[in-house]
Amino acid sequence: MNENESHLLTNYQSLMQPHEKMVARWLTEEWNGTDKEIPKWLKNKVWNEFPYRNINDPNSLARLICLNLLENHKHEISLRENKI
């Protein structure tokens, strides 16, 4: 998960659906950034909401949630300026 994805997942949870918010909170508050799978308890809760996706990959889920945010709420979202 890159810096922009982390920013979106942290600051725009109010725009997410409940299952996306649950995954976003785990990704931003509990995930260590290196584990290759989401915990079994979370997988069991959101399995049906992410059909045909690689639900085991935290980075894939982060990108998917960010893409949904950008697709559905692009006028309500702003990214931080990138520092060079």
Q: How many CB atoms lie within 10 A of CB 58?
A: 23
Q: What is the pLDDT of residues 41-75, one digit of tens each?
A: 999 899 888 877 778 899 999 999 999 999 999 99
Q: What is the pLDDT of residues 12-27, one digit of tens each?
A: 999 999 999 999 999 9
Return the pLDDT at 66.
94
Distance of alpha carbon 59 from alpha carbon 34, whole angstroms: 10
What is the pTM for the complete model shown? 0.87
Return the pLDDT at 82.
61
Return the pLDDT at 48.
87
Helix, strand, coil percentages, rounded to 5, for the chain: 60, 0, 40
Are 22 and 39 in contact by the 8 Å Cβ rule? The answer is no
